[in-house]
Amino acid sequence: MHPGADDAVTGGGPADRGGPRPPREEPDRATTASGPPGTVRRGHPFSPRNWALWRRRPRVVAFMLGSEAIAVVVLAISLAHSPALAARDWVNFGILAAGATVHIQLTQRQEERRRNRKKTVLIDLTAVWTFSAAMILPAPLILFVILVVRLQHWFIARRPAHNFIFSSITHGLAGVLAHATYTAFGPHFAGSGWSDFLSEFGAIVLAGAIYEAIQIVYVGGALALGMSSEPTLRNVLGSPADNMLEAITVGLGAVTAILLATVPPMVAVMAVVTVVFNRLAELDQLQNDVRTDPKTGILNMRGWSESAERALERTTRSGDQLSLLMVDLDHFKWINDTYGHPAGDDVLRTVAQTLDEVTRPSDLVGRFGGEEFLVLLPDIDEEATRDAAERIRIAIAKLHIVTTDKRGDPATIADRTTSIGVARHPRHGDTLERLLQSADAAVYLAKENGRDQVCFAPDTVTRPAER
């Protein structure tokens, strides 16, 4: 679920995420240089004294340094108690390092494009190699494999040095602890009965959970404390799709380890699989970008309409009930005029997140445009529809949105009201277009009646010329 491929603290996750972009780093402070008066030189960005880390919030600095210290102690203990390396270990290391290098080099341009487009967590798929190393190699060689992966990713992501170090240490700790967990259930790949298979599967699942949990705690903790400019649950932990991709990647890492232990030449196939999988991930991201509103992260009108049409078709075939809510923020222009458009954007993002939280997983939430949102509620009766709409109205009214004013000073926007229009299928329309028209008419009715309320569409739709 969490941290990052190349930059842990910019985000990322066990399956090696590059993750949410960090807040823009401040330029390194200038230091006086020898020479003519007024001449200055900037400190080298790789020098620890010039890291932007020191300009972070104290709690972030304390968390990162403290967690790194703990990780270094654990890694040192693991290395001190590691058994002597055998020739087979070095062979396995060479195979994994070669596979990881082929994967990274053949997908470098794809990764650069994905990182440039991705604003939340990014799964880079290298856990196929690092998790398999955690299963099959001793601690020193696990760290060597991670080093091979991380150094190559440095040239792709080029993140701040302190982010790179923190993320690398996090990956090392996750790999070593996953290895300790897995070997505690050994020996492996020796049984042939169902009980042996189930025991092996359980050990792999537990090791994978440890591998993920360490990165969630380390990188997720740093992001939640302030490394992310928007420490929302989605930005810290990633979307369900992100975490599904990550789980699949860790699973592929387990398959790679099993192949390496039983049929080593077949690992070459996994190198091909990772390249293809990387391409599929990029295509999925492109498709998601087309369907997603960049300002709020929820479905845009195109993505919402496509999903809503399918839901409406299912409802028509099954004879179930369906409702459409149009959520319109009252006096939104006043927010932009008073606090500025960046504050208005913060309000839209927070409202979108709130809608996602207070609706059911089966409901479709999208941005209609401007300050209007759409929520499609399948399989719901009239009373439950009214309850859902009121729940949304109350949730938005309770929001306290921390933002900035026109001068950049801290500000909080609260006590915002919402007018919600409701259309029911088939009573107010048997097509998506007619339902939208009916819900829009209901919004007008709510505003004419004083705003801050839920109104159902009239049976006969009459729309005023202007709002």
d(CA 422, CA 436): 9
In this predicted structure, what is the pLDDT of residue 10? 38
| Confidence class for position 39, pLDDT limits 50, 70, 90 | very low
Task: Locate the DSSP E strands across 142-244.
Answer: none
In this predicted structure, what is the pLDDT of residue 233? 63
Per residue in 199-209, pLDDT tens?
888 999 999 99
Mean pLDDT on 68-93: 93
Mapping DSSP to helix (H, G, I), strand (E, B) and coil, where does residue 293 land?
A: coil
pTM listed for this prediction:
0.60
In this predicted structure, what is the pLDDT of residue 163? 78
d(CA 170, CA 339): 40
Mean pLDDT on 331-336: 92
Q: How many other CB atoms are found less than 10 A from the CB of residue 89? A: 16
Q: Decide which of 71 and 117 is more confident.
A: 71
pLDDT of 18 above 90 = no
pLDDT of 135 above 50 = yes
Amino acid (one-letter) located at 300: N
- In order of 153, 328, 341, 353, the CA distances from 299 in angstroms are 31, 16, 21, 12
d(CA 241, CA 84): 41
Q: How many other CB atoms are found less than 10 A from the CB of residue 368? A: 19
pLDDT of 153 above 50 = yes
Token reading at 221: 């903790």
| Confidence class for position 157, pLDDT limits 50, 70, 90 | low
Spatial contact of 359 and 325, defined as CB atoms under 8 Å apart: no
Mean pLDDT on 83-100: 93
Token reading at 98: 């070669």
In this predicted structure, what is the pLDDT of residue 244? 79
pLDDT of 412 above 60 = yes
Mapping DSSP to helix (H, G, I), strand (E, B) and coil, where does residue 9 land?
A: strand
Percent of all residues in the chain with a pLDDT value above 90, rounded to a whole number: 45
In this predicted structure, what is the pLDDT of residue 71? 93
Q: Which residues are catalytic?
A: 371
Number of H helices, E strands in the chain: 16, 9
In this predicted structure, what is the pLDDT of residue 147? 93
| Confidence class for position 228, pLDDT limits 50, 70, 90 | low
Amino acid (one-letter) located at 288: N
d(CA 385, CA 389): 6
Per residue in 273-294, pLDDT tens?
888 877 776 666 666 667 788 7
